[in-house]
Amino acid sequence: MLRIRLIEEAIADHYAEGEMRCPVHLSIGQEAIAVGTCAALETSDKVYSTHRCHAHYLAKGGDLKRMMAEICGKAAGCVGGRGGSMHLMDVPKGVMASIPIVSSSIPVAVGSALADKRMRNGKVTVAFFGDASVEEGVFHESANFASLHKLPVIFLCENNLYSVYTPIDQRQPNRPLTDLAKAHGMQAAHGDGNDLDECYRLSVQAVERARNDQGPTLLVLDTYRWREHCGPAFDDHLGYRKEGELKKWEQRDPIRRFREKLGITFDAKMESAMSAEITAEIEEARAFARATPLPDPSQATRHVYA
């Protein structure tokens, strides 16, 4: 979590330099879900993510240098500069794709699970998405199919309460999001998405169900995006958030809470050593991304067809 936080903060701090010339959707404040879920998965398991994919990519083991290079539009980027920040993938690590159209990755993740079930290879696929995704028809189309065929897939809803600037209560009736799973005859669980242990525990249960042919699970984990929807800055001054809301969620910082839980087993000295190590890794990745070349224009026409 600390690593993801520091990487995201480094992106925010250096964004204005103009090297990272693509939209970025930072995961600051939402790290626990990515880390807890991916800790419950094997490397051979698969995740599909969204526009806000940095945390998922990193938690699943995605290569940092190739991520930074991708955000800088470089040939060494994880997709050669074709996608930017919203399209991170690291196939050997099981980060199959990040798809920035709301809900668009969900059926693809279900298809991945269908293929795995047909091949009986025991793999599990996680579809990460936000609270607005359940407003899209294709979420329901996917949930219906996955439940009908008991596919090894986890629908992981990160409820951060906002779709861009619009709060969930202007978009959805007041009912538990887990009720949506009931409608599709699917298991569901709701938890604190800023509590790493809880995220991990619920993910382990869902993964176990998926692996044992007991079908999909909808996990709804509550969290909060600290910064703007797209971009490096805080945006509390815009007034779309409720007063004091950001402060309240900052008090529930998943990193702070986990630090407190660890107590004396993780002291300030250990943390600063860890931070220094991560910072060095980030600097190395940034230097790599700066130094490595842009793709040749001739590459733009490649891979239109397989």
Partner 1 sequence: MNAVVQGHERVISLAEAIREGIEESFAKDENTFLFAQGVSDPSSMWGTLKGIDNRFGEDRVIEMPIAENGAVGIAVGAAIAGQRPIISFHRVEFALLAFEQIVNNAAKSSYISNGQHKVPLVIRMVIGRGWGQGPEHSQSLEPLFAYFPGLKVVMPAFAGDAKGMLIAAIEDDNPVIFIEHRFLHNSTGHVPEGYYKNALDGPRVVREGKDVTIVATSHGVLEAMRAADVLHKIGCSAEVIDMRVLRPLNVAPIVASVRKTGRLVTVDTGFVRFGIGAEILASVMTEAFNALKAAPVRLGLPDHPTPSSRGLIPGFYPDSQRIVREVGKMLSLDQAKVDSALKELDIQRKDLQIDQPDPFFKGPF
Interface residue with partner 1, options 4, 34, 96, 202 (CB under 8 A): 96
Convert 75-113 into a string of H (helix), E (strand) and C (coil): CCCCCCCCCHHHHCCEHHHCEEEECCCCCCHHHHHHHHH
Interface residue with partner 1, options 97, 157, 206, 218 (CB under 8 A): 97
Specify the stretch interacting with partner 1 by CB under 8 A; choose among 13-21, 57-65, 112-120, 258-266. 112-120
Spatial neighbors of 122 by CB under 8 A, at least 6 apart, are: 116, 152, 211
One-letter amino acid for residue 188 of the chain: A
Specify the stretch interacting with partner 1 by CB under 8 A; choose among 3-11, 79-87, 188-196, 277-285. 79-87
Tokens of 22: 């693509």
Per the CB < 8 A criterion, the answer to whether 45 and 124 are in contact is yes
In the complex, what is the shortest distance from the CB of residue 100 to partner 1, in angstroms, rounded to a whole number? 9
Tell me whether residue 157 or residue 199 sits nearer to partner 1 (CB atom).
Answer: 157
Interface residue with partner 1, options 18, 137, 263, 297 (CB under 8 A): 137
Question: Under the criterion CB under 8 A, does residue 296 sit at the interface with partner 1?
Answer: no
* Cα end-to-end span (Å), the chain: 37
In the complex, what is the shortest distance from the CB of residue 161 to partner 1, in angstroms, rounded to a whole number? 25
Spatial neighbors of 166 by CB under 8 A, at least 6 apart, are: 240
Tell me whether residue 28 or residue 41 sits nearer to partner 1 (CB atom).
Answer: 41
Question: Under the criterion CB under 8 A, does residue 268 sit at the interface with partner 1?
Answer: no
Per the CB < 8 A criterion, the answer to whether 57 and 67 are in contact is yes
- Chain residues binding partner 1 by CB under 8 A are 48, 79-80, 82-83, 87, 89, 91, 96-97, 99, 101, 104, 106-116, 118-119, 137-138, 140-142, 144-145, 148, 302-306
